[in-house]
């Protein structure tokens, strides 16, 4: 049986990532304006405020469908949006330079996730066959300020995984220099319990895996928790990340 927690390649631990900082041509994920540890770009200069975050598996559910859009809730073929608590997600992408974090324009940012019942679109597995559907998938190209915004829903749960959203940051197809980085966003367990107590989440039953029990979360997920605040009838959150070697 195929599940999203099966790795594609090997997931680096935080210690391994920190030990490899400064390697020429390697892309790392970092956070601007973060605490404690700093990333050291090529040449030994310190990019103040940039904190390394771990890479995580894309899993078997990434589909490169070339679907450029900000609101990813609906299947474009039917226009029917997946029900759930609204979530506005803003990713601020930067590159690490000697002077600090500089906005990275023109990067392709993909997001994909399951719906309130734990179902992904456009895949076939032991539980569902949603091939041809495109709900809760899409990409945006970062603006000059490095921002990509998405309107989605708070994700549901499925077996063996904590609640999460996948994202991938990569170069445009016509870029002179290619790069890519894939990871996941996690959510506060207490907030997830509140959201999942309401429909349509409640009909799926209580989730079985909290963050601390998720094998990927234990390898750096605390640095990937998305801080959220109420917004209308849902939530919104901003996640700041930076790439080295771009």
The strand pair at 108-112 and 180-186 is best described as unpaired
CA atoms of 34 and 44, how far apart (whole Å): 19
Rounded Cα distance, 194 and 143, in Å? 34
Cα–Cα distance between 43 and 56 in angstroms, integer? 26
3-class secondary structure, 89: strand
Under DSSP, the state recorded for 14 is H
C-alpha 154/C-alpha 185 separation (Å) is: 11
Q: What integer pLDDT is reported at residue 49 of this predicted model?
A: 52
Mean pLDDT, 10 residues at a time, the chain of 246 residues = 41 40 43 34 40 74 88 96 98 84 92 97 90 96 96 96 96 86 96 98 96 94 94 95 83
Q: Are 96 and 53 in contact (CB under 8 A)?
A: no
pLDDT above 90 covers a percentage of the chain that reads 59
Query: Going from the N-terminus, what domains does the chain have, and what CATH number goes with each?
Result: 14-243 (2.60.130.10)
pLDDT digits (tens, 9 = 90+) for 138-167: 999 999 999 999 999 999 999 999 999 999
**Helical residues (DSSP H) of 169-231, grouped into ranges:** 189-196
| Alpha-carbon separation of residue 238 from 17, 112, 149, 158, 228 (angstroms) | 23, 17, 9, 25, 8
* pLDDT score of 194: 97
Count of Cβ atoms closer than 10 Å to residue 20 Cβ: 12
- What pLDDT does residue 187 have? 98
What pLDDT is stored for residue 33 in this prediction? Answer: 40
Q: What is the pLDDT of residue 44?
A: 36
Q: What is the per-residue pLDDT across 96-118, written as a single tens digit (0 to 9) for each?
A: 887 778 899 999 999 999 999 99
- What's phi and psi for 30, nearest 5 deg? -145, 170
């Amino acid at each position: 049986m195929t599940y999203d927690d099966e790795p594609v390649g090997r997931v680096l631990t935080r210690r391994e990532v920190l030990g490899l900082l400064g390697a020429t041509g390697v892309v790392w994920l970092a956070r601007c304006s973060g605490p404690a540890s700093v990333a050291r770009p090529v040449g030994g200069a310190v990019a103040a405020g940039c904190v390394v975050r771990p890479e995580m598996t894309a899993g078997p559910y990434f589909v490169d469908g070339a679907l450029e859009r900000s609101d990813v809730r609906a299947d474009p073929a039917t226009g029917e949006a997946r029900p759930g608590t609204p979530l506005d997600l803003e990713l601020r992408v930067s590159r690490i330079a000697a002077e600090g974090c500089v906005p990275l324009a023109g990067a392709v940012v993909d997001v994909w996730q399951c719906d309130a019942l734990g179902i992904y679109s456009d895949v076939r597995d032991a539980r569902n066959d949603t091939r041809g559907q495109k709900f809760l998938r899409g990409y945006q190209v970062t603006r000059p300020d490095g921002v990509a915004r998405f309107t989605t829903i708070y994700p549901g749960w499925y077996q063996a995984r904590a609640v999460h959203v996948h994202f991938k940051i990569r170069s445009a197809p016509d870029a002179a220099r290619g790069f890519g980085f894939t990871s996941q966003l996690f959510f506060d367990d207490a907030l997830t319990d509140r959201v999942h107590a309401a429909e349509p989440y409640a009909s799926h039953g209580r989730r079985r895996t909290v963050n601390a029990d998720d094998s990927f979360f234990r390898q750096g997920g605390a640095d990937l928790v998305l801080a959220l605040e109420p917004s209308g009838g849902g939530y919104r959150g901003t996640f700041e990340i930076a790439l080295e070697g771009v």
